[in-house]
Amino acid sequence: MNIVIVGCGKVGATLAEQLNEENNNITVIDTDAKKVREIAEKNDIMGIIGNGATYAVQTEADVKNADLFIAVTGSDELNLLCCMIAKKAGDCKTIARIKNPQYSSDAAYLQDELGLAMVINTEQAAASEIARILRFPSAIKIDTFAKGRVELVKFRLPDGSPLVGMAVKDMIIQLKADVLVCTVERGSDAFIAKGDFVFEERDVISIIASHRNANDFFKKIGYRTNSVKRAMVVGGGEISQYLCDILSRYGIEVKLVEKNEAKCHGLASRWTDVKIINGDPADKSLLLEEGLAATEAFVALENIDEENILLSLYAKSVSNCKIITKINRIDFDEVVSKLELDSIVKPKGITADVILSYVRSQKKAIGSNVEAISSIIPGKVEVAEFIVNDGSPILDTKLSQLHFREDVLIAAIIRNKNVILPRGNATVSAGDSVIVVSKIPALHDISDILA
């Protein structure tokens, strides 16, 4: 596909890199010459310096031959204007990033009236992911598929876990657990788990199950399944505002710490049940006075990654609470992973997954459509949801009789709202949703999993 991206910030740079790796023709636009050159040279793609909301610059980017136009600048209004011009100039599909909470309720209206293919709210998506984790604090990460009917839950085995030394197949039999183990991370290694795989202490495991069966499984292995009741959030940006909206609806008591006094006044007028604290989150005495040691969750949402990491490490040293850390950069993933920060949320990764899903869904496939993509282990393992169509080579054949490529796992089949954890005799029918976990990059069609 020919794709034009306006905005070379963190989100734009990530999109350019990942979409380029999937053999799309990418052109990036930004007024910042340095950013344009860096992204263009790193990915060997076209870069244009200029205002992406002008017809002249879009013409230079060959918008008339573009299949998709993505606007992810820091300005919601600029993104919408870019897409309006692209729609008129090139008649291509358009995606606009919207982050201001004031526009969130208008997203559907804007998408319909402006003819946008998608409106994506990175900050709202990140807040939703954080809220899911806070409702199930034993998890490191939770992804949902099939309209919420299936959950992929990632968690770490603690020292002394009853699963240590147990093989995957024995766990299913002994615990009578209706879950499917997908992946295991051990140090820098990633595995697609098979029946004879044996768990070790500190393994990070991903399972897939319905919400009810996942809860049942965690109760059996002694994990906490109740939602947190008290949370402390630091940073008063857009993600924090969306998060407080959600947690307020859940009835969770929230304290929000923000250093900017003017912003605090605005936030205080927004909620009656969220306590707004004007102070520096780096002030350890302030955090302790406000109950850090007794809180059930600590969420670091400052704009600087290093500050979020240090705050989270401090919270970990004085509290046993659930800790969630926002990190924007992915350059030091391996270093950050060794800090065992509990749950890490990467907003730009969420955005990239959503747009990658859309791009793959637009590429012609014979037997399926891509509905969703999520990176379980960044750069190593991803999970994809496919809607299987007539003509697919996997239809009506027992899974045990199909020849799959190495490091591929069918994790779930959803049929008529029912979740089926596949065994050897299971079959796939037209119209089913199929969840696939794989080390193979860029699966575009369900047939790609066959050898």
Among the listed ranges 117-131, 227-241, 243-257, 374-388, which one has the minimum average pLDDT value? 374-388
Question: Residue 390 to residues 268, 355, 363, 369, 431: CA-CA distances in angstroms?
Answer: 54, 25, 17, 11, 8
Q: What order do you get walking across the sheet with 150-156 strand by strand?
A: 141-145, 150-156, 204-209, 180-186, 189-192
Segment 140-148 shows an average pLDDT of 88
Question: Residue 246 to residues 129, 280, 399: CA-CA distances in angstroms?
Answer: 11, 24, 41
Q: How confident is the model at residue 445 (pLDDT cuts 50, 70, 90)?
A: confident
Mean pLDDT score across all residues of the chain: 90
Q: How confident is the model at residue 244 (pLDDT cuts 50, 70, 90)?
A: very high
The 10 Å Cβ neighbour count of residue 69 is 30
Sequence ranges of the chain with CATH classification 3.30.70.1450: 127-220, 362-449
Residue 412 to residue 241: CA distance in whole angstroms: 34
pLDDT at site 352:
81
Segment 70-77 shows an average pLDDT of 94
Tokens 């109760």 belong to 219
Which CATH architecture best describes the domain 127-220?
Answer: 2-Layer Sandwich (3.30)
Segment 39-59 shows an average pLDDT of 96
In 3D, which of 318, 309, 314, 346 has the Cα closest to residue 330? 346
Pinpoint the alpha helices (H) of 48-176: 55-60, 76-90, 107-114, 122-135, 168-175
330 has pLDDT over 80: no
Segment 349-375 shows an average pLDDT of 80
332 has pLDDT over 80: no
Burial of 186 (0-12, 13-18, 19+ CB in 10 A): middle
Task: Say which residues have a Cβ less than 8 Å from residue 198's Cβ, sequence separation at least 6.
Answer: 165, 166, 167
Sequence ranges of the chain with CATH classification 3.40.50.720: 2-120, 230-345
In 3D, which of 151, 96, 148 has the Cα closest to residue 122? 96
For 148, left (φ over 0), alpha (ψ -120 to 50), or beta? left
388 in Cβ contact with 184 (< 8 Å): no
Q: How confident is the model at residue 366 (pLDDT cuts 50, 70, 90)?
A: low
In 3D, which of 84, 89, 78 has the Cα closest to residue 56? 89
CATH of 362-449, one of 3.30.70.270, 3.40.190.10, 3.30.70.1450, 3.30.70.260: 3.30.70.1450
Segment 142-161 shows an average pLDDT of 87
Residue 358 to residue 350: CA distance in whole angstroms: 13
Q: What is the pLDDT of residues 377-419, one digit of tens each?
A: 877 888 999 999 888 889 988 988 999 988 899 999 999 888 8
The 10 Å Cβ neighbour count of residue 260 is 11
Tokens 């595995």 belong to 191
CA quadruple 309, 315, 318, 322: dihedral positive or negative? negative
Which CATH architecture best describes the domain 2-120?
Answer: 3-Layer(aba) Sandwich (3.40)
Q: How confident is the model at residue 53 (pLDDT cuts 50, 70, 90)?
A: very high
CATH superfamily, with its number, for domain 230-345? NAD(P)-binding Rossmann-like Domain (3.40.50.720)
Reduced to 3 states (helix: H, G, I; strand: E, B; else coil), residue 270 is coil
